[in-house]
Amino acid sequence: MRATYVWLSRLIAIGVVLQAMFIAFGMFDIIKAVDDGKAYTSDAYNAGQSLHSIFGSIIIPLLALILLIISFFAGIPGGTKWAAITFGLVALQFALAAVSFGVPFIGLLHGLNAFALAAVAGIAGRRAQTATPRARPEAVTPA
Amino acid sequence: MTEPHDRRRGETGPPAQHGRRRLIGLVAAITATVAILGTLGYFWFASLVPSTYSVMDLGYAEGGGDPTTGHAHGGLSIATLTGPDSRPDVAVTLIAREESYALASGERVTGYTVNHTSPGPLVRATVGQLVEVTLVNDDVSDGVSLHWHGVDVPNAEDGVAGVTQDAVAPGGSHVYRFRAEQPGTYWYHSHQASEEQVMGGLYGALVVDPRQPAAGQNDVVVPVHTYAGRRAAAGRTGTQRIVATPGDQVRLRLIDTDSAPLRATVTGTPYRVVAVDGRDLNGPTDVTDPAVVVAAGGRVDLGVTVPTDGKAVRLDLGAGSAVLVGPPSAADPGPRESAATLDLLSYGTPRPTELVTAAQHPDRTFELSVGRRPAFVDGRPGLFWTMNGHTFPDVPMFMVRYGDVVVMTVKSSSSQPHPMHLHGHHALVLSRDGVAASGSPWWTDSLEVENGQSYVVAFRADNPGIWLDHCHNLKHAADGMIAHVAYEGYTTPYRVGGSAGNDPE
C-alpha cells in the first residue's frame, strides 16, 4: 500500500515533467508551422497540445484520485493530507487552464502551479517513504 | 521530516480501544472511497450517450415561459416537410468523394471533394427559382449529407444526418429541393461527421441572385477555408488577382468556412458591408480602416469600387491569404491587418422592423448561456462546454409553436468565442451587452458570441420542424455544443447512430 502510494506520487511528479515537455513540443510545432507559412487555426491539430490535454484532463487527475483513495488505507502519517493537497492542486490546475483560454497571462500561474504540484507530489512520496507507519487499518480483519 | 506526534498516533490507549479505533479508521476510509468513487461513477454513468437515440429524447425541454410545454412526442413527421416537387429551374448533381486532391494553387490535400474539387462547384440561382441538388456519395465511408447553411429551407431539406435525413451511404444518393427565396450569399457543407468532412473540404458556395441584378457589378465569391494549415480563398493560397477595371463596382462575397472568426482587412479603397448572412444591410456607409469580422459559418458581402489611382484593392484574409482586385498590372498596396474592428451593432441606417416591435411582447423567451467546466461527456473526462449549465447529452431543446415571436439571449462566459448557428431561421440582433442595436437591421444565422458578451436576438417561428441551434466551431459541436429548436406537434423519424451511422457533428 505504502509502495503504491510512493509510486503514484512519483508518477504524478513525472506526469508534470511530461506535461512541460509536451507543451514545449506543441509550442515549437506551432512556431514552425507559422514560420512555414501555415495558418495555426482553431481547426489545427497539434500533437503536443493533444497529449497535454489527455495527460492533464485524464491521466494526472486519475493518478491523483487513486493516490487520495490509497492514502485512506495506507496508514501513512499525513498521507491523506498530502494526497489531498496534491489532488487540490490538480483541481486548481484545471481551473487555471479554464481561465487561461480567455485570459492567456493566467497561463503563467498554470505553469507555476505545475511546479507546486510536482513539489507537493514529491513531498508526499518522500514523507511516505521516511515516516514510520501508524497502525494500519487494514491490519484489522473485520469479523 | 517525521514528527514524533505522528509516530505515536494510534498507539496510545488500551488494546481494546486501539482495535476499535482501527476499525473506525477502516470504516471511514471505505466510506470516503465509496463517496468519492460513487459520485464520480454517477457523473460518469450519467454522461454516457446511447449508441442510437432520437434527438426528440435528448436533454430537456425549455418552454420559454409557456408552462404547458414539454418534450414533444408524436406529431407530424418532419420527413413530410419537403420542398416543392414541381420542375426544377436549377438542377445540379454534386458527387462527394474521399480523396487526395490538389488545390487550385497546387498544394496537395487529403480530404474530401465535391465533383473532384474543393470548394465544390458554385451553385447559383435567381430568386424564385426551384433548386434541385442530387447528392451522390461516391466513396465517403462515413456517409455524407448536405446542409444549406443560411438558407431557410423546409426542414426535410436541411441536410442534418440523424435529424432531418439519414446519412447517404457510399453508392447512395439524396435529392434536395428548395426554392431560392432571399438573395444573398450562402454555402453548403456536409452535416454528417461534419468536423472531419467540412475541415477536409466537403463544402461549396451557394449564391442567390436578386431578380434584377445590380447593373455593371462584378461579383466575386470568396469562400475562405484553411486546408491543413494552408488558408485558401476560393481554393487558392497566397495572393491572387481578380481582374476588374478602375471605377468598377465589385461585390466580394466572403464566406468563413472555418471554425474560428475570419478577420478581413480592405486596403486601397473604402468598403461597404452590403450584406450579412444573406440579408442586405440598410444604408451601408464607407469604412476605411477597421477590419470586418466574419463569424465562423457566416457570410459578409463587401462592396468596393476599384480605385482609379492605378492601385488594386487588397483584401487580406489572414495567414498569408489575400485577394487583389483591379487591372492585371495594378500596384499591390501591400499587406495590412487592421487592429480595429467594424461594429455591426451600430453600422448602417436604422429601418423600422416589425419584429422589433413584436419582440417587446414575445411568446417565448429563452436564454442560451455557454460555459465551460470539468465534466464527463460520453464517459470521457475533460474541460467541456456547457449550455445553461448542462453538458451534452443533457442539452436544452427550445420548444416553440408556429407563429411564435421568440426572444433569445445568447451569452458566453466560457473564455472562448462561439459562432452560434440557428438552422432554418434568421434572427434579428436586438442588443448586445444591454446596448440596443442602432444601425441597419442586422439579421444573422451565424452569430459570433465572444467571451463575456451577451446578445439578445429575436426570430419568428415560421419554419416548422426540428432544427439545430449549435456552435459552428465544429470541434465544439463535436464535443456536444448542440441545442435544438423544436416545433410542437412535429417529430423526426431519424435517429442519431443506428444502422445509417448518423453522426451529425
Residues 6+ apart with CB under 8 A from B188: B94, B120, B123, B133, B146, B147, B148, B149, B159, B203, B204, B205, B206
Average pLDDT over residues A28-41: 83
* Separation of alpha carbons B407 and B461, rounded Å: 10
Chain A: nearest CA to B317, how far in angstroms?
Answer: 11
B415 touches A: beta carbon within 8 Å: yes
Three-class DSSP category at A75: coil
pLDDT recorded at residue B109: 95
Strand partners, B174: B135
Residue of A nearest to B226 (CA): A39
Residue-level pLDDT at B5:
47
How distant, in Å, are the alpha carbons of B103, B205, B297, B475 from that of B189?
18, 9, 10, 15
Q: Which of A57, A68, A77 sits opposite B7 (nearest CB)?
A: A77
Identify which of B79, B104, B325, B328 has the alpha carbon closest to the alpha carbon of residue B236: B104
Chain B hits for A77, Cβ within 8 Å: 2-3, 6-7, 9
Which of B29, B383, B473 lies nearest to residue A137, judging by beta carbons?
A: B29
Which tens digit of pLDDT belongs to each residue from A76-115? Answer: 999 999 999 999 999 999 999 989 988 999 999 999 999 9
DSSP letter, residue B419: E
Convert B62-124 into a string of H (helix), E (strand) and C (coil).
Answer: ECCCCCCCCCCCCCEEHHHCCCCCCCCCEEEEEEEEEEEEECCCCCEEEEEEECCECCEEEEE
Residue A134: per-residue pLDDT: 60
- Gap between the Cα atoms of B166 and B148, Å rounded: 16
pLDDT tens-digit map of A44-86: 889 999 999 999 999 999 999 999 999 999 989 999 999 999 9
With a cut of 50, which residues of chain B have pLDDT below it? 1-11
Q: Does B7 touch chain A (CB under 8 A)?
A: yes
Inter-chain touch A98–B383, beta carbons under 8 Å: yes
Closest CA in chain B for residue A79? B6
Q: Which chain B positions have a beta carbon within 8 Å of A140's beta carbon?
A: 19, 22-23, 26
Q: Which of residues 309-348 of B touch A (CB under 8 A)?
A: 318-321
Q: Using CB atoms, which residue from B2, B22, B451 is nearest to A140?
A: B22
Report the complex ipTM. 0.82
Full-model pTM: 0.91
Q: A112 CB contacts (<8 Å, ≥6 apart)?
A: none
Contacts of A121 (CB under 8 A, 6+ apart): A9, A10, A12, A13, A16, A67, A86
**What is the C-alpha to C-alpha distance for residues B49 and B416, in angstroms, rounded to an integer?**
25
CB of A104 less than 8 A from some CB of B:
no
What is the rounded CA–CA span in Å between residue A33 and residue B496?
A: 37
B180 SS3 class: coil
**pLDDT (tens digit, 9 = 90+) per residue, A9-33?**
999 999 999 999 999 999 999 998 8
Cα B491 vs. chain centroid, distance in angstroms? 23
CB B458 within 8 A of CB B405: yes
Alpha carbon distance B235, A33 (integer Å)? 20
Task: Give the distance from residue B387's alpha carbon to the nearest chain A alpha carbon, in angstroms.
Answer: 16
**Inter-chain touch B320–A37, beta carbons under 8 Å:** yes
Q: Which residues contact B105 (CB under 8 A, 6 or more apart)?
A: B232, B235, B236, B237, B238, B240
In the numeric block, the cell 496534491 is attached to: A86
Residues of A in contact with B415 (CB under 8 A): 98-103
Residues 203-222 of B with CB under 8 A from A: none
**What is the model's pLDDT at position B6?**
45
Q: Is A88 on the interface with B (CB under 8 A)?
A: no
Judge residue A139's burial from the number of C-beta atoms within 10 Å of its C-beta, 0-12 exposed, 13-18 middle, 19 or more buried. Answer: exposed
Residues from chain A contacting residue B25 (CB–CB below 8 Å): 75, 137
The band of A139, judged by pLDDT with boundaries at 50, 70 and 90, is very low
Asked whether the beta carbons of residue B32 and residue A72 sit closer than 8 angstroms, the reply is yes
**B297 to chain A nearest CA, in Å?**
13
Under 8 Å between Cβ of A121 and A83: no
Q: What SS3 state is found at A84?
A: helix
Q: Which of A42, A68, A138 to mutate to test the interface with B (most CBs of B within 10 A)?
A: A42
- With vertex at residue A44, the alpha carbon angle to CA A41 and CA A49, rounded to the nearest 5 degrees, is 110
B126 to each of B88, B92, B299, B443, how far by Cα in Å? Answer: 12, 14, 18, 21
> What per-residue confidence (pLDDT) applies to A136?
52
Residue B28: other Cβ atoms inside 10 A = 12
> Number of Cβ pairs closer than 8 Å across A and B?
124
